[in-house]
Structure 1
Amino acid sequence: MKIPETSVGVEENYTLPPQSGMNSSLSRDQLIDIPIDHKRSRYPFSIVWTPIPFLTWILPFIGHMGIATSNGVIRDFAGPYVVAEDNMAFGRPTKYWQLKSHLARGGVTGWDNAVREASEVYKTRMHFRTMCQLLGYQGIAVVMEELLKIVKSLVQGNILQFTKTLMEAMPKVCKLPRYDYGSPGVLGYYHAQLNDIVQYPDARTELFHSFREFGNTILFCLLMEQALSQEEVCDLLHAAPFQNILPRPHCKDGEKPETKQKRLEVKYSSLQIVPSVEKLGTPKQSMIAREGDLLTRERLCCGLSIFEVVLSRLRSFLDDPIWMGPAPTNGVMNVDECTEFHRLWSALQFVYCIPVGGTEFTVE
């Protein structure tokens, strides 16, 4: 639809063909048309989608979504109690669906108000906790097992090859510069020592992206375990009255806590699942009730840690000698020699902190 030109400051109404659920008379600001800008990630009145590393590879129909305001700024549920603005949690969108702004209730203003209100609501909600509820124990185990398979191929593939190549480019010895060089002198010293690493063409793209995927896996497993622990604690609190687990009662002067505790147990005895099932149910139902009661009581008493198991599995992937480096020449530790991986990691951190030039590519 072509909108006629008007003078500045004059608002005109335009009549559209009548459709169900919309007003036939709309003002100019309700027909605002801002073009899509892919370079700046501006998608006005759009729902955007981007893949989640690893998870989308396993389940292609799962991804991360966001919604854009009238000026194209994207807002997305980036994590627990966090709604990001103009910085999607998993990178720039790869798909978008632009909606018709004039169909929104209240036009442009109504659209922006709805996005803002939704953002305020999601700032009070958890993210990984919802995923734990959806997946359950078996689903979480399947997802983490698949993630570990992908990380194993990544660590023993691209990252290992990059590490071997860059370790050869590292200086054999890099001594600590004198403090009286000053900041510019120290920066120039390290820049000269690590010139081959800085000039490596794939460092800011493929290598950093591989490390990002590796780090995202570790953070994902850690956050999933934290959310799962919160779910288990809530389950135990909810199940406590049905398992004869009662809080210690408050006692006034002269009252005996044992007497008051027994009184509470008698009062809530009808809520206990196991005695009720044993009294009214079949032997098989009684056995299931006892096993369920035991499992619920012991859930947090086993000392198991998903994250600890994940870290142990990740450590088992680092079986190449390049990760440990040769034995120190002095028999104790390397001081100035750059033969261990942590020296290369420090060099990569140095490269990462160097501002990107106008003609350089990055992982973003």
Structure 2
Amino acid sequence: MATRRELSLALLCVCLAACALAPGPADASKMVGVYELRKGDFSVRLTNWGARVMSVVLPDRKGNLADVVLGRDTVAEYVNDTSYFGPITGRIAQRVARGRFVLDGKVYHMHRNDGRNTIHGGDRGFSRSIWTVKEYVAGGESPHMTFYYRSFDGEQGLPGNVDAYVTYRVSGAYTLGVHMNATALDRATPVGLLLHVYWNLGGEGSGDVLGHTLRIRASRHAVLDDELLPSSGRVEPVAGTPLDFRAPAAIGSRIRRVVVMGGRAVGYDTNYVVDGEGMRPVAQARDPASGRALELWANQPTLQLYTGNSLNRTAGKGGRVYDRYAGFCLETMGYVDAVNHPEFPSLTLRPGQVYRHDMLYKFSF
């Protein structure tokens, strides 16, 4: 017999499939839709289901257009997605050990959806919610879109009401800005969001990304255990390890030496401590075959590099399938499991305080 949650998801899938998926008016409607930001031959498709990036299309060095984001064709196909193709995740992104933490002397328990732990906000985090469209400007000099979500007191076991916004903005030549902010309204609560996009600069479905070159401006990493948690609280140098991307190197050049999850996966799922502070360059990636490149700027302290280690004949766009290493994620964020590590910068907001997370993707070819 189907559970209540399974029936709810099935009903939601039917509702999403019935929604009009053409770009809609710039109003506060919560009907699920797909929206496009376009400037010349650079376009970005978004949906308010999870405030998600569905596609980014740009030319290669020969002028050939391709979508460089892994994902699905329709919003309905994202409902049961467990790979986190393109959404904003939160209220606490990444992992929380045992789905619990203590704040102001009180123990809070979150829904555990990653074995013994919680990942990306729990069973119904920000990525599995309908955001409100607050503003939509499809074209012009600065196409942009703002989504809003009210996270309610007790959602996924978390305290207090939170107002969250994310704005996607196309500016300049082939530049996408992502600007997140969240305000604690009435109680202290942890907040830490991230954008979980899988990139393949050769074009989604074009093969693996092992030949992409990558540079990460980080000289240290947080040591993660077999559950990809920083249980020791240690931060160590990347020098002399296969995690060192301070100089550009192919993603696949040392990947076979990176074993995670107690030997159950081979590949990067690594939390880097980014050098410097404030808005600064974090990472650069380039596909030698197409010439496409991206440069990522952000204002967060860490970066999670994930190389799609768990993709396995995963359904993608246009009937294609994604296997391991079909894409890579560059997730700027706070420290993993910071709610359980006082030695890491705090994620806690007091009432009236605002969380701000800014990212800038600069594409070239």
Computing the radius of gyration over CA atoms, which structure comes out larger, 1 or 2?
1
Do Structure 1 and Structure 2 share a fold, with TM-score over 0.5?
no
**Greater per-residue strand proportion:** 2
TM-score (norm 2): 0.23
Greater per-residue helix proportion: 1
Higher RCO structure (Cα 8 Å, ≥6 apart): 2
TM-score, normalised with respect to structure 1: 0.23
